[in-house]
Structure 1
Amino acid sequence: MNIKSILAKPYAKLVALKVYKQSKNAIEVQEKVFKKLIKLAQNTEFGKDHHFSEIKTYENFKQHVPIADYEDIKPYIEKVINGEQDILWKGKPLYFAKTSGTTSGTKYIPLTKESMPTHIESAKNALLMYINETKKADFLGGKVIFLQGSPELKEKNGIKIGRLSGISAHYVPSYLTKNRLPSWETNCIEDWETKVEAVIDETIHENMTLIGGIPSWVQMYFERIVARTGKKVGEVFPNFNLFVYGGVNYEPYRNKFENLIGRKVDAIELYPASEGFIAYQDSQKEEGMLLAINNGIFYEFIPADEFFNENPTRISLKDVKLDINYVIILNTNAGLWGYNIGDTIKFVSLNPPRIVVSGRIKHFISAFGEHVIGKEVEDAINNQTINTKITVNEFTVAPQISPETGLPYHEWFIEFGNKPDNLEDFALKVDKALQEKNSYYYDLIVGKILRPLKITLIEKGGFNNYMKSVGKLGGQNKVPRLANDRKIADELIKFEEK
């Protein structure tokens, strides 16, 4: 065992004690975060516009600060981009994380000197919590890789601009720098397919112990390794035993990954967003991710089924309940206020507060009043692949409102790694599982408003080819699990298996 692995264990224990002490007093910690945020931002333009100096309680805050999306704060963002100070947060941000919005085009999310360290601290804590629980630290002695965007940054009016993963690359802890791959030059390659091949060139003969990234892009990396070597990833990297991921649910990929690797490996889920690092998996035994309650973020929650009401219920952490689908709202030390990032979550534990990401408030199917969400379709298909040889590379779901014949239905576009022996039987099982998870969908099927789902097979590599065709291959981009229209579906048809 190397010296870093030895020293990491007592350090991990101290960090875990601190994190759990805070989490056991999560409501009090959140109240302190709230008061600090209001105090520090009361002299900003946003703070003055929304009477922060008069805000003493959360109830005051709700009266003065409306729920917002990017379009609502865009006028403030544009002032910051133009070089103005003290607009959303004191001074100027260090960075803008550049993201792709579905309705707003390119979005520029501020990262400040107060918020940036919390992204790094949370990722570090996730690894330390894993070490503390499992006592496994040998991965610190090998090579690690995080498949991410280019670290090359642009600059405007003294503010650097880039993808969050690229910005984070500048903050890799010193104890991991010598272990980290790929090289700076390879990380800067923009074309994803070229980059993956270069990453393989640099890593294939190394002692890789930790690999991280969005599952769909790590899957491509693994598939290319298998294609090049003719071996399982676990044979190429015999000491690879920890996968770190975020951005999407890992469960639909798990079978495929275990097949590519040739064995099971531990996994740590992270919930990083450009707007803030929200949660991370703290245990291999407990469900969900630990909400980062002392991260410069004050959280609010709106029941998802009320979100589009004129006056939806808006609550803080002290009033949340288990198993309710909430839209998560952020107020941050980067100057985002009442900000809807578009994600929905559920609490699976209240003390300490642990969550699972259930989907996107804009990514749902309710063409017939069923309001099916991402987690429901993921669970429905995942339940049919567990302990089977069936593997799913990628999938998405869309409503078919006007079929040429028969009743309308949900159309599932699936790219299989290994297909089921009986596709019709598989489709019926997935449909039944979805009915069990969503009573509205069940009623529509039973009432013969909808017929059971139909699967459209997508050719091998079809989803990657689709993403490439729309300029979103690699990086932090991912295919939505479902949509209430057929924009993606109509493009995917081009890649239907012949």
Structure 2
Amino acid sequence: MSLGCDFSVLEELISNAKKIQDNVLDKILKTNANTEYLHRFLEGSSDKELFRKNVPVVSYEDVKPYIDRVANGEPSDIISGEPITTFNRSSGTSSGNQKIYPTNNIYFENLLFGYALSSVVMSKHVDGYKQGKMMIFRFTHQISPTPCGLPIAPALTSFTKSKYYSRMAKNSTSPYVVALCPDPKQSMYCQLLCGLVQRDEVVSVGTTFPSVLVQIVHFLENYWKELSSNIRSGHVSDWITDLSCRDSVSIILGEPNAELADLIEKECRQESWQGIITRLWPKTKCIETIVTGTMSQHIPALDYYSNKLPLVSKVYASSEAFYGLNLNPLSKPQHVSYTFLPNMSYFEFIHVDADGEATSEIVDLVDVKLGDYYEPLVTNYSGLHRCKVGDILQVTGFYNNTPQFRFVRRKNTVLCVDVEPTTEEDISKALARATVVLESSDLILTGFTCYGDISTVPGHYVFYVELKAKVNNGTNVLQLDNKVLVECCCVMEESLSSLYRRLRGDEGSIGALEIRVVQKGTFDSLMEFFVSRGSSISQYKTPICIKSAEALQVLEDKVLARFFSDRSPTL
């Protein structure tokens, strides 16, 4: 697809959502009706009503045996009329399990089209966006072959290494080859070095997910002296051994620049790193990273480092499909809604109540109702048919004829130590209340996760938090106030569900909530752990709940102090 999109293309799409959705389904059914999977239900027909009547709603686990057969060497037409060219591997940090999804070139064309449209939207809302450069950090993971010989990799890795992404990378501060570097440390260093040299051209800073951007700031804290030295000497550090990185970055680095080196040292040597992004990159207009749902836990740290620049969640996409765009990119994170693009896949929606329990109603994209909650189903060009995504969305409005959705949470219960179902949304609300208490004491939350500890009787919730003082006290030792941290425990419990509060209080079947403060850099180590197990840095999201005993040990080894709620929550 052409990158020459303009706003009229978007207007046409969302003005004709029903017709486009019907055409998408018709094309998918005509292409896939004779696959082994669909033929069982349609017997070669491409009739839409027969599709809705006969083809079942499924989860990933239902179609996994078919996907595995193709991955193991059987023909693509088991599930897809279009040849499968790649398998996308999910990060596994949300669900705890990595999944693989069949993919073909249509998926990558859709990504390219969606990102091109998102740039059109950004240009409309951010002055100088097209004229400036993006310091958007990209990383790629190793591509492995499946038994059939097709590549398998995280979706963003496959896209970044494809011919499609190379057409998007032209306004980036980093050469394309730097994103392809297999060593994440060398890649991160080189992307920072390129960004610093071009600091006056940068209008946007970002990563796909904010946990990575927070880690990049930590990396900068550790390496700013060396980066400055490279700029002062005009020479890239010898430990950058990837020749493609070294050669391309050396061209950007150019001649020695003592003036820029002095400026970097002056800013990074200050006691406080508040606003460090805007101090080093003064023309930055926004931070591009997804801060909806549980990603909102990183908002306080990003606000601190960026002097509260707008946090832009541009797109809603997954390994299954590209869904939609944020047409009001400068909106506050809590007000972000995504307008679905009807040409990407065929979308249906299971109506659910506010707790995420399904009703019997399934509706098309244009038939959802304002204010109601839904779980999306995807029928795509790569072999998924009426497949549950596992997200809960709420309809917030309509743009022309196309609905806009707020991401509420992942569907599954996250924490449970008795019979209480605690969701991502519950935890996000609890965290938001604790953050207010921390900020009043000049502390910033830079990392967070939790787990349900049932080794104690009764079981209780444990929250691991990494904290940073707003101003360095000169000792690099974090001062922890028992009263403040205990109050955090209490306000978190107050914001959890009425069932949790009852079980915690009168019935006593849940123990006092615990906060364990961990050492600086612990969540960087947690990310390194998951990356070493196959997760991609670009797609890494700090797990909201830890399910791996090994990952839990990474946290336990670095616990500094423990605090417990000292009162039962009100009922």
Q: Is the 8 A contact 1:247 1:476 kept in 2?
A: no
List aligned pairs for 1:70-219, cutoff 5 A: 70=61, 72-79=63-70, 82=73, 84-101=75-92, 107-132=99-124, 134=125, 136-150=127-141, 159-169=150-160, 170-171=162-163, 176-206=168-198, 207-213=201-207, 214-219=209-214
Name the structure 2 match of 1:220. 215
TM-aligned CA deviation for residue 299 of structure 1: 2.9
CA distance in 2, matches of 1:38, 1:149: 34
Aligned residues: 480
TM-aligned CA deviation for residue 440 of structure 1: 2.8
CA distance in 1, matches of 2:376, 2:393: 7
Gaps of 5+ in 1: 1-7
CA distance in 1, matches of 2:98, 2:176: 25
CA distance in 1, matches of 2:453, 2:157: 38
Matched, 1:493 2:493: no
Name the structure 1 match of 2:7. 13
Q: Which amino acid aligns with 2:306?
A: I
CA 1:70–1:60 in 2, change beyond 3 Å: closer, same or farther? same
CA 1:459–1:147 in 2, change beyond 3 Å: closer, same or farther? same
Report the secondary structure of 1:86's partner residue: helix
CA distance in 2, matches of 1:29, 1:73: 29
TM-score (norm. length: structure 2): 0.73
List aligned pairs for 1:335-414, cutoff 5 A: 335-349=383-397, 352-362=402-412, 364-385=414-435, 388=440, 389-403=442-456, 407-414=458-465
Name the structure 1 match of 2:261. none
Q: Deviations over 1:85-125 (max 9, x none)?
A: 42322231232223355889654322223232111111222
Report the secondary structure of 1:204's partner residue: helix
Name the structure 1 match of 2:273. none
Give the CA RMSD over aligned residues: 3.5
Name the structure 2 match of 1:329. 377
Report the secondary structure of 2:215's partner residue: helix
TM-aligned CA deviation for residue 38 of structure 1: 1.9
Q: Deviations over 1:138-195 (max 9, x none)?
A: 3543244242324867687674443211222235567743322433443233343343
TM-aligned CA deviation for residue 263 of structure 1: 4.1
CA distance in 2, matches of 1:315, 1:447: 42
- Which stretch shifts more, 374-383 or 141-150? 141-150
TM-aligned CA deviation for residue 332 of structure 1: 0.6
Q: Deviations over 1:227-253 (max 9, x none)?
A: 414531212111222322248644221
The structure 2 residue matched to 1:298, chosen from 347, 352, 358, is 347
Q: Deviations over 1:330-376 (max 9, x none)?
A: 11111111223333333333564222333333451233232111122
Q: Is the 8 A contact 2:445 2:467 kept in 1?
A: yes
CA 1:63–1:452 in 2, change beyond 3 Å: closer, same or farther? farther
CA distance in 1, matches of 2:167, 2:64: 38
Q: Which amino acid aligns with 1:430?
A: M
List aligned pairs for 1:264-283, cutoff 5 A: 264-283=309-328
Report the secondary structure of 1:492's partner residue: helix
- Which stretch shifts more, 468-477 or 108-117? 468-477
CA distance in 1, matches of 2:370, 2:489: 31
TM-aligned CA deviation for residue 451 of structure 1: 4.4
Tell me the percent identity.
Answer: 15
TM-aligned CA deviation for residue 273 of structure 1: 1.0
Name the structure 1 match of 2:522. 462
TM-aligned CA deviation for residue 21 of structure 1: 1.9
Q: Is the 8 A contact 2:290 2:312 kept in 1?
A: no
CA distance in 2, matches of 1:226, 1:465: 16
CA distance in 1, matches of 2:519, 2:557: 10
CA 1:67–1:424 in 2, change beyond 3 Å: closer, same or farther? same
TM-score (norm. length: structure 1): 0.83
Report the secondary structure of 2:58's partner residue: coil
Q: Is the 8 A contact 2:433 2:491 kept in 1?
A: no
Name the structure 1 match of 2:249. none
CA 1:196–1:62 in 2, change beyond 3 Å: closer, same or farther? farther
TM-aligned CA deviation for residue 57 of structure 1: 4.0
List aligned pairs for 1:418-433, cutoff 5 A: 418=469, 422-432=484-494
Q: Is the 8 A contact 2:351 2:372 kept in 1?
A: no
Q: Which amino acid aligns with 2:500?
A: Y
CA distance in 2, matches of 1:35, 1:154: 33
Name the structure 2 match of 1:4. none
